Amino acid sequence: MTGDVTLAEVIQNTRVLPIGELQKYCDVANSRGVPLEEVLEHERVFSPAILESLKRGLALIKDGTITMEKLAVAMFDQMTTQVDMMESLEVRGWLPKG
C-alpha cells in the first residue's frame, strides 16, 4: 500500500476514529464536494497535532518510507503517551534521525 492510499484509509487503519464516525465524515465530505481533511478540521474531530500527524503519516506511506502498520503503532503512541508520531518512528528506528 503506497501511492494511492487516502486520509480515510489512514484514519481507518490506525483506528484513531471509530469506523462509523469516519463514514459519517466521509459522507459529509462527499455530499459537500470537499476534501475529508476540510470536514475534519471544521468539525474539530482531532486536535491540530493529531490531524497533522495523520497527514504527515499519509505522506510517509505514499512515498514508501513507512508502512501503514508502523504508522498505526506511532499513532497509538501519540494518542496514548503524547509522544509525537515522528519521534515514535525515529525512536523505533523506522525513520532516519534528523
Residue 61: CA count within 13 A, CB half-sphere: 24
What pLDDT was estimated at residue 54?
97
Confidence of residue 2 (pLDDT cuts 50, 70, 90): low
What's the pTM? 0.90
C-alpha distances (whole Å) from 61 to each of 7, 9, 12 are 11, 11, 14
21-74, pLDDT tens digit by residue?
A: 999 999 999 999 999 999 999 999 999 999 999 999 999 999 999 999 999 999
End-to-end CA distance of the chain: 25
Mean pLDDT of the chain: 94
Cβ contacts of residue 48 below 8 Å, gap of 6+? none
